[in-house]
Amino acid sequence: MASYLGPIKTAVFIFPFLAALLSLPFAVLQYRRYGSVLWSRTIVLFSFVFYMLCAYFLIILPLPSIHAVAALQTPRYNIVPFTFVREFVKYSGFELGNYHTWIQTLKQPSFLQPAFNLMLTVPFGFYMRYYFRRPWWQAVLLTFGLSLFYELTQLSGLYFIYPRPYRLFDVDDLLINTTGGLIGFWLTPLIAVAFPSRAKMDERSYARADRVGPLRRLVAWVIDYVIIAGLFGVLISIVLQLTVFKSLADNWFITSLLPMVCVLYLVPLGLHGQTWGKKLLRIRIVAVDGQPLTWWRLALR
């Protein structure tokens, strides 16, 4: 069990940083597609990201040393289907007529490994049906593709970082993982009662599309001032460094204030009230009294 808890703890540690990195593109996509960001949708989608992160770490962690992997003599792959069944019969000690063996069987690696591979993709099948609304055959194909990605990751020695695989490429894992995704798809009606309805989330999102709240303004401002104006300032500094005006490269007015004026004043003046960030989020600056946006109104703002 400790071998499973370790990767999950790593995912718990890394997830906040990954979530912070994904927050801006997530907000942009939500505003462009639905016109608003719902906390319920955010929780659902980021829970899917957390699940995918946990699943990935479970198939690659813990990472051994390169020297230890180079010295391995274990098989690199198994392409014989249903080997796990033969190993279960041979090593588990399970006897159908002897209930004393049942509990002990649950602790055997020959049972735990296939059970883990089955449970690994059950949530994936659930998300495919519940949120992404895929039919069963697409859920099966996508689960198989996910499992194949995991197996090729192992077969390649973590994308050739290691000289050989440190975990077995197993055709049985493809079969079991795909079955797990299908089980998750079938169980969706039972599990989905604990989640908000996708249809209701969409309905609420579209109903709020015309509202321009502080979060939407903040996202546009971050895109304009932090990203675009920041990159513009860096570009100006680099260009100045390569010319005879090198001494101006550290001038705050040129590298900071000028980009801000261009992005937050000249651009909306030319684009009729839209900066690049506002255009991306489908909002614009308008006069409260309905009058056209003039240069002095924009300057005053």
Q: What is the pLDDT of residue 2?
A: 64
CA atoms of 204 and 211, how far apart (whole Å): 12
Q: What is the pLDDT of residue 32?
A: 93
The model's pLDDT over 47-80, given as tens digits with 9 standing for 90+, comes to: 999 999 999 999 999 999 999 999 998 899 999 9
Q: What is the pLDDT of residue 1?
A: 61
Contacting residues for 184 by C-beta, under 8 A, at least 6 apart: 121, 122, 123, 124, 125, 126, 127, 128, 129, 139
Q: What is the pLDDT of residue 180?
A: 97
Question: How many residues does the structure list for the chain?
Answer: 301
Q: What is the pLDDT of residue 90?
A: 83
For residue 189 the two structure tokens come to: 């009606």
CA atoms of 253 and 299, how far apart (whole Å): 18
For residue 178 the two structure tokens come to: 């795909």
Segment holding 120, helix H or strand E:
helix 109-120
What residue type is 30 in one-letter code?
A: Q
Residue 92: φ, ψ to 5°: -75, -30
User: Got the DSSP string for 200-247?
Assistant: HHHHHHHHTTT---HHHHHHHHIIIIIIIHHHHHHHHHHHHHTSTTGG
User: For the chain, which residues score pLDDT lower than 50?
Assistant: none
CA atoms of 215 and 35, how far apart (whole Å): 12
CA atoms of 184 and 286, how far apart (whole Å): 49
The model's pLDDT over 17-51, given as tens digits with 9 standing for 90+, comes to: 999 999 999 999 999 999 999 999 999 999 999 99
